[in-house]
Structure 1
């Protein structure tokens, strides 16, 4: 008997007990999507030639024109504060979105859509989100996981012809109902049930489902004209054991008998439409099932296959937009605002945060763009998309938090001139939806990665399921060689496969070494803990996080090559260092928490020679901050999606920064010094080579520094007594002195 068969016979029973059982929903999730560069990282053998082969992102002429014209025009229509106060987009914005087919970006031209690629889709969402997140979400949802994509991939010809043109031009506005009050993260456990019946409908006997459902958190539900619905289909006429048909997706027009929508949720009081959907004995003909009767019961597979790509686009674009806006605001405000006679951006505590934000943005946006390139080549990287969803939404939240710290009092006063307050309030929304990050970290990234990305585990599971001893033996022999190779590379150094950019050769070696250490650690954890690892979510989350940081570091290498921007080399190096340092910390924490004897010894052995993973030094952070302050091109390259809004604090800051650029840094500093001495804009400006430009800058900078104020109770009572209309919020205006704002006298109160 061959050795492989003997090994397989010996290992079959232990492996049958050790490998975690897979349910149908888990199997559908695992089988969805493809494996890309993340698989090479999981194997401990990243190949930088394969990384480079992905090529740069490309926009077609139509896509570029749309971004340059229609998207720019839309952004100039968006007033973040006004939309937030109104809790809705203005009617002219809704019309513009429909007329310019923003809701049909993913729908092919043959059906009246724009037919854009994934990178163009993500770029549009990111650019809108830099000025108003509610508008970005409104555009994002019809182009994300929902009726349009499901119809394109699985719909019947009749369904496509009926719905796609109307979705493309906005005559139909879709939403998709999946989440239920008792099935949130465990979406496959939705209690909503549809029982197969036959009844009179549309003048003829029709087979269909009577569905009872309760859905919540459904974006666009209050304004939707067609509802995508997921429910459990049941056919009680079948024999016992065959009645449960599985999750099914259908389209229901609005209005429809038995279905109630129209009320609103207010997610962090955001302006985008979101609300519940209820249905009692709603008749859904079989023809309304997406794909027709043959797709009854296939809904979970359909959703998982769409999510394998969708997670990589919309929410990562929102996270990137938050990072880009926060970096621009923090860096710009740090130059305009002075304390103790210096721009606050020169203080190390502020400069260090801004530099760290820039390095994080370089890495996270590199991963977003790299994954978009993979999607545009036809890949559907399910693990990478989960990594992006977690990492970019968390990075967006961190960046906004850092920005709020830097803004201080300016950041916490609500009003038209606030710079980050709305984003700060809305950051948790992206963290929560499309799979809450706490779940995605703990169960999806490593849970799927351990099976899909590992070079041998899936083969072993298949062999055990088929009771194929020879196949199991062959897989185990290959697995043993894999572990031995990674042990050697962990202890004595890993080779660099392919040719990374020469300027990042050292960083590429660090990625290769850390990848080998990670691959070995993953095998040790799975081997020592077996199926228990699935339940030990803190450990599996750490393993997923290390893979994520390796992915972001590798994408930074790719970005530096395709960008061909040598001025960004310090940021690429810093980005990789930060990601690898974080990966090393997480691995050390993981070994400290392994519930096995000798874990410290194992950890010390695997993680030896990791001194090369030293974090960025303070002097390196200060150098990055200096580049950001002195070279506007750097910020433009790091935040290319930043757009100009209709009004508000961001536009005011952009105006001040433009004027400051024209003046030059030394002149602006001299003006601020003169202003402190003279306490007069005019007197300070008169000493500049171009007094008119200097005065415009001082007034623009003052407008950025000021905050909004509103009527208090006394002013409201006085206005009511005089029977006057409500006064609008006071807009920041240039003050006669930057240090002594003019005193405002309230209107007199009539004698009683």
Structure 2
């Protein structure tokens, strides 16, 4: 039984950490203050191979076999340790942009879209959430009607990451394409290239956190795309997005671990350096115990995250089931996201009044954390998934 990453993964961690310190850390405060999406950073991440970790060499990816998804989680954790916005750009770019095409696309779709996506020359997005259909994805109202050789889409999506950048090339959209025999809506996934007439990217949101991440609402007004833009089988969009979310939940868990780790490191430094009543505040049990509890939470979150990532890699090799991955992903995402929110609260408390000031990074950490309990399925949804996995008769 091993509880350590491989030497190769640790070497990779150091590479990504050095990149984050050199290319992200010096600019984070300014990007956050200006709500600036660092589009020039994306191809640099592509040059490092971060967007191609799970993709085959034939599309320009790394062609990794063993541990590819774990490598992705290592990269997300290390970027998230420095800036959550950059971390989610990678997480969504791979998990929600590349993976659906890689998993469900035809050879023609893969050849068309993946080479630019895996090298960071372009970004893709996944349009699932709607103004009235978040956790209840079955309530999707966006419709797509097959008219001749074209899909005609009408509807709206909300909170879509990487959807409005100048290098966004395509958005995969879930839409009602009919009705199933049991009366439930038939949900399919359709690829909509950026710039398609009738595809409107709404102004960027003003957000509590993730200020330098790209997030928009999308509107489709008689938007026409070719029939061959259907991704996967017609009527299988719901099951496709469930599989996509399993990967995404592990990635969000890795992002949360990065944030909690940053809180731990900041709290350690401050508790050693801040002097009150003639001694470092870390000499007081009231502070020292908070930092100790934070270290425990980080360790537990990391172990749950990399267990889930390992299971995902094992599933890709045919050695574990999708159900095992789904349960582990929900457990990791639930614990890690809630631990990250608690970690930012602890770090802010350790910093005292300074923790409330934007000059200190823990203020940004605090703002960035909350969305981790919401995106890729709320904490309540994770508890529902876990309960069902335990065989409980949950409605």
Q: What is the RMSD computed on CA atoms of the aligned residues?
A: 2.2
Match of 1:395 among 302, 322, 339: 339
Quote the residue 1:252 is aligned against. Answer: 192
In structure 1, C-alpha distance between the alignment counterparts of 2:98 and 2:289, rounded to whole Å: 44
Counterparts of 1:99 and 1:359, CA distance in 2: 35
Question: Is the 2:3–2:303 Cα contact (8 Å) retained in structure 1?
Answer: no
Shift of 1:319: 1.2
Mark the CA change 1:323 to 1:74 in structure 2 (over 3 Å): closer, same or farther. closer
> 1:241: how far off?
5.2
Q: 1:262 to 1:114 in 2, by over 3 A?
A: farther
Task: From the CA coordinates, give the structure whose radius of gyration is larger.
Answer: 1
- Kindly indicate whether residue 326 of structure 2 is the aligned counterpart of residue 382 of structure 1: yes
Structure 2 match to 1:123? 74
TM-score (structure 2 length as normaliser): 0.90
SS at structure 2 position matched to 1:401:
helix
Cα distance in 2 for partners of 1:222, 1:266 equals: 14
Look up the SS of the partner of 2:36 in the other structure: coil
Greater relative contact order (CA < 8 Å, ≥ 6 in sequence): 1
Q: CA deviation at 1:247?
A: 0.8
Paired with 1:356 and 1:74, the residues of 2 have a C-alpha distance of 27
1:265 aligned onto 2:205: yes
Please say if residues 195 and 211 of structure 1, whose CA atoms lie closer than 8 Å, have aligned partners that are also in contact.
yes
For the structure 1 residues 226 and 359, does the alpha-carbon distance in structure 2 shift closer, same or farther, using more than 3 Å as the test? same
TM-score computed with the length of structure 1 as normaliser: 0.48
Alignment partner, residue 235 of structure 2: 297
Q: Which of residues 353, 358, 367 is equivalent to 1:414?
A: 358
- Asked whether the 8 Å contact 1:220–1:272 carries over to 2, the reply is yes
Q: For residue 365 of structure 1, give the secondary structure of its aligned residue in structure 2.
A: helix
Structure 2: 5+ residue stretches without partners: none
- Quote the Cα distance in structure 2 between the aligned partners of 1:69 and 1:90: 20
Q: 2:283 aligns with which of 336, 346, 359?
A: 346
Partner of 2:122: 172
1:211 is paired with a residue of what secondary structure?
strand
1:342-741 equivalences in 2 (<5 Å)? 342-378=279-315, 379=320, 380=322, 381-415=325-359, 418-441=360-383, 443-446=384-387, 448-451=388-391, 534=394
In structure 2, the residue matched to 1:103 is: 51
* Deviation string, structure 1 residues 660-685 (Cα, Å, up to 9, x no partner): xxxxxxxxxxxxxxxxxxxxxxxxxx
Q: Residues 57 and 373 of structure 1 are in contact (CA less than 8 Å); yes or no, is this contact kept in structure 2?
A: no
- The structure where strand makes up a greater share of residues is 2
Secondary structure in 2 aligned to 1:386? helix
Structure 2 equivalent of residue 726 of structure 1:
none
State the 1:253 CA deviation.
Answer: 0.9
Is contact 1:250–1:289 with CA below 8 Å preserved after alignment?
yes
Report what 1:68 is aligned to. Answer: 14
**Contact (CA 8 Å) 1:175, 1:227: kept in 2 or not?**
yes
Gaps of 5+ in 1: 1-51, 199-206, 452-525, 536-752
> What residue is the counterpart of 1:58 in the other structure?
6
CA offsets 1:727-747 (integer angstroms, 9 cap, x no match): xxxxxxxxxxxxxxxxxxxxx
1:310 to 248, 261, 279: 248
Deviation (angstroms), 1:391? 0.6
Show CA shifts across 1:673-715 (max 9, x none).
xxxxxxxxxxxxxxxxxxxxxxxxxxxxxxxxxxxxxxxxxxx
Structure 2 CA distance for aligned equivalents of residues 258 and 92 of structure 1: 28
Inter-partner Cα distance in structure 1 for 2:336 and 2:294: 12
Which residue, out of 77, 80, 92, partners 1:141?
92
1:685 alignment partner in structure 2: none
Distance, in Å, in 2 between the alignment partners of 1:430 and 1:242 is 35
In structure 2, distance between residues paired with 1:104 and 1:152 = 11
C-alpha contact 1:59 1:120 (8 A) present in aligned 2: no
Shift in Å, 1:182: 1.0
